[in-house]
């Protein structure tokens, strides 16, 4: 891809490029376009057997909420609690600028 074409694309995209950046980007775009040409040459209408199978591997939805009895056991076994919550040491602080 020529530098003038890259600069025109940059202008349309409202991106400022130096000559060096335009040259590097042109080389990258050439590589991408070459790869796209290779992909386009592959015929998708031939009788090629699929080598993969699409299946749903996500588990079935279930009620993951613990029962009130289990929750009460959990909270009561914690060394520190506040109401229905387990109280833990604060590990994150405010980030000062």
Strand 85-86 relative to strand 81-82, pairing = antiparallel
More confident residue, 58 or 3: 3
Q: What pLDDT does 97 receive?
A: 47
The whole-angstrom separation of Cα 15 and Cα 8 is: 10
Which burial class, exposed, middle or buried, applies to 1 when counting CB atoms under 10 A from its CB (0-12, 13-18, 19+)? middle
pTM over 0.95: no
95, pLDDT greater than 60: no
- Token pair 């790869």 is at which residue? 35
Read off the pLDDT of residues 17-66 as tens digits, 9 standing for 90 and up. Answer: 999 999 999 999 999 999 988 888 776 655 666 666 667 677 776 666 66
Give domain limits for the chain: 3-41
6, pLDDT greater than 80: yes
Q: What pLDDT does 91 receive?
A: 78
- Tell me the CATH number for domain 3-41: 1.10.20.60
């Amino acid at each position: 891809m020529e530098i003038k074409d890259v600069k025109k694309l940059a202008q349309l995209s409202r991106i400022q490029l130096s000559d060096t950046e335009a040259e590097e980007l042109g080389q990258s775009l050439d590589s991408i376009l070459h790869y796209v040409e290779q992909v386009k040459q592959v015929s998708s209408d031939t009788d090629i057997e699929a080598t993969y199978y699409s299946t749903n591997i996500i588990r079935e939805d279930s009620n993951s909420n613990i029962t009130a009895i289990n929750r009460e056991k959990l909270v009561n076994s914690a060394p520190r609690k506040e109401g229905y919550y387990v109280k833990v040491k604060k590990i994150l602080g405010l980030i000062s600028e």
